[in-house]
Amino acid sequence: MARICMHRMQSQNPVASVIPFTSRVFGETGRVASRFLSSTAQVPYPVPASSKSVSRCSSYSRGAVTLGCRCLSRGAQISNSLPLSRTQIARISFISQASSGRVGAEQNVAKSREGREILVQHLLVKEDQLPVLLELQRSITQEGLDLSDLATEYSICPSKDEGGMLGWIGLGQTDPAFEAAAFGAPVNKLVRVKTKHGWHLLQVLGERQAMKLEQIQVEEFHERMQDPSFLEEAQLIDVREPDEITTASIKGFDAYPLSRFGHWAPNIADDLDPEKETYVLCHHGMRSMQAAQWLQTQGFTRLYNIVGGIHAYSKKIDPSVPTY
């Protein structure tokens, strides 16, 4: 039977936020799993203390999970980072048509960033508060104020609690118009974006190579398990809940339930070796994929998500493992 990892449980509280999409599709386990995609790790610049935890604002369109940010929605209008004249403001609608069509310089910059991820921070004000946004931008560029501090004080987006951090995003993960603005922006240059929710002031803080997550079928995983040294050399993680593990389990897996993420996550690099092959299992492969993606941000480089989870293992490999 897999052991339950309960390290330092007395001092931590579970992450509270949940998301509508994942909650509807996956229920309670989906709500727990949704925490992972908002992790902001390996940040290559000094991040304020409030920004080092998981972000509450990583709004991903096209069916990906989100923590409820209203910022990245369709119909965005994009402007450059220079102060706008009244004439320019009047022409923003026209500008946005070109931007949403992915033409011009923004498209070229975005294309050059294929296979890469960008770290994005922003603040949001209401549509009628463009003068406020311009003043905030001026205070950053001319007075040296910090976008994180201003986001905490002035932003109406839930990400204000994290200093406006949206986390690492890749192409195809966000609304096309917002993506065009973010991926078209040079690193550390302020860019204004208008959506139906108001005006955003965003900044790309860094770039990195997008991390690829290996997917392994249960047949190949089972074949590897036949090697007597496999269980000694590999790390096997089961992110299902304790009652699920009681119902069905596979020998050799250690349990790291997502509901206890706040307890074991801070010490994961001490409990496990980031350089070892690590295989992640759940019921059908969704929670394990999200957990593996988070582990990547913690420096784990040899990660495998078991496709189809323990359900596929039972159906295709070992019928003695109960299904549920």
171/232 Cα distance (integer angstroms): 38
Cα distances from 67 to residues 152, 158, 201, in angstroms, run: 18, 9, 20
Which residue out of 5, 57, 157, 282 is catalytically annotated? Answer: 282
70/57 Cα distance (integer angstroms): 8
152/314 Cα distance (integer angstroms): 49
In this structure, what token pair is assigned to residue 5? 């990892």
**Residue 157 catalytic?**
no
Characterise 126 by phi-psi region: left (phi > 0), alpha (psi -120 to 50), beta (else). Answer: beta
Look at residues 240, 276, 247, 275 and name the one whose alpha carbon lies nearest to residue 261.
240
Q: In whole angstroms, what separates CA 32 from the centre of its chain?
A: 14
173/114 Cα distance (integer angstroms): 12
Q: What are the helix and strand counts (H, E) for the chain?
A: 14, 10
Write the secondary structure of 28-73 as one string of H (helix), E (strand) and C (coil).
HHHHHHCCHHHCCCCCCCCCCHHHCCCCCCCCCCCCCCCCCCCCCC
> Which residues are marked as active site?
282
